[in-house]
Structure 1
């Protein structure tokens, strides 16, 4: 249902690159202090770097960057060589900067740093407010502060336009394989709230991520259940998503699926998820 990022979603960010790229290049002609051989080994840093790096500055992205089920920028990432995120492989690329996540293998980070390679680590985004922070951090790491500032301004304007403060907030549950759900103190929970829903997982005491038993979900009786996507080969874990009890709830609508790529990384493209959630809420209102 929500598996594609529309070309229009990318236009503001591509426009920002065009507007600031030429000026930034002219300002730094000659001795450029920016890193020139950047390697990303994390899905989320892949996408931030793809947005902000100058042509030729980013030389490799992680393999996940080209996976359309995980990456919002898979098409663009296919123009780049990929890496398996291992220290030895990355070292052979002769990078002057490696971009990773705070959950990147400590052994990998330590080995690269011991070899004299600068490593910049990015924490996962826990809220929509973290998106500008990650853009700012990436802009500083790449020496692309002007591009980052332009994107931050565009993101904040677009988010303010999309964010809803409806008179009535329907109650929703995000429900994944293995009965997993998330509370308000997560990026997904914040997307849900920005789209105009209250999160029933928060009513159940979940602040971050955790198990929400099917029986508990039924008792919470949300207005809508938004399911996580299926994973091939995980039949037992997925059974809960196909349980007849979910579809037998009186007055509850089971709507679409969450596409991981729109929800898991703190980039401006999370606006696609906010827009989809807002449209879902509007469709519920129209049906009443």
Structure 2
């Protein structure tokens, strides 16, 4: 419970810090974010009126931990025409954003900064610092970073909680070099993906997972509909080998932001 309170305070206080100060004189005044992950960092760090649009995914509560806050911003769908008409002086995109959109905006003379996905704790720390620099909000970024580090100390575990497996639709797992793997390790678990030499994201046959017998199984939240790719998550063998199954909400796991603290806490 104590960790939960501290994590909630981290997120709430970060938003208050962002809303309390004006942007630096040299910072951009009309910022558009067109990526779900950059949306979150921008909303946490931007000063009032500085951020003028976020991606449409930012309002999806299944994907975005800041869906309620995102409702206060106009959304964009990543199209060059609509973003250009917003007259931004800075556009922030993700690494896997539409190449043609980024290229067109740059040809039109608009500054576009591309941020790679953060797949580790250190990468998250670097992204916070970089976003603060892009917005001219270095003090706010330093404050958020300090609160993130404090949250890691409160939510993370130094004890060995045993072996755990990440298992998603189509029998996919995540090993080292992934955000999900970093979350698992931060919660004190040893990822069985390492036993099979898996790094990054790869398929793990159900038979190998059953024979590995992890103490904890972490699966993704199911989406509406009847996707056959998710049928493997209902296999009775999974319940038999790991009764302590954690069905996580994707929104806290999707992006490398301070909200991973909630994902870490959910595994304790």
TM interval, shorter chain, is over 0.9
CA deviations on 1:85-114 (whole Å, 9 max, x unpaired) are 111111111111111101111111110000
Compared with structure 1, are the counterparts of its residues 11 and 208 closer, same or farther at alpha carbon in structure 2 (3 Å cutoff)? same
Task: Specify the alignment match of 1:238 in structure 2.
Answer: 230
Give unmatched runs, 5+ long, in structure 1.
1-5, 280-288
C-alpha distance in structure 1 between counterparts of 2:94 and 2:167, whole Å: 26
Superposition deviation, residue 161 in structure 1: 2.7
Bigger Rg, structure 1 or 2: 1
Q: TM-score, normalised by structure 2?
A: 0.93
SS at match of 1:76: helix
Give unmatched runs, 5+ long, in structure 2.
none
Given that residues 42 and 131 in structure 2 are in contact (C-alpha distance below 8 angstroms), is that contact kept between their aligned partners in structure 1?
yes
Q: What is the CA RMSD across the aligned residues, in angstroms?
A: 1.9
Given that residues 227 and 254 in structure 1 are in contact (C-alpha distance below 8 angstroms), is that contact kept between their aligned partners in structure 2?
no
Task: Specify the alignment match of 2:177 in structure 1.
Answer: 185
Match of 2:91 among 98, 114, 138: 98
Superposition deviation, residue 67 in structure 1: 0.4
CA deviations on 1:158-191 (whole Å, 9 max, x unpaired) are 212322121x431111111110110022111111
Task: Specify the alignment match of 1:253 in structure 2.
Answer: 243
C-alpha distance in structure 2 between counterparts of 1:52 and 1:267, whole Å: 12
Task: Specify the alignment match of 2:148 in structure 1.
Answer: 155
Match of 2:264 among 230, 255, 274: 274
SS at match of 1:60: strand
C-alpha distance in structure 2 between counterparts of 1:12 and 1:80, whole Å: 22
C-alpha distance in structure 2 between counterparts of 1:20 and 1:12, whole Å: 12
Aligned length: 265
Superposition deviation, residue 147 in structure 1: 0.2
C-alpha distance in structure 2 between counterparts of 1:50 and 1:188, whole Å: 23
Q: TM-score, normalised by structure 1?
A: 0.87
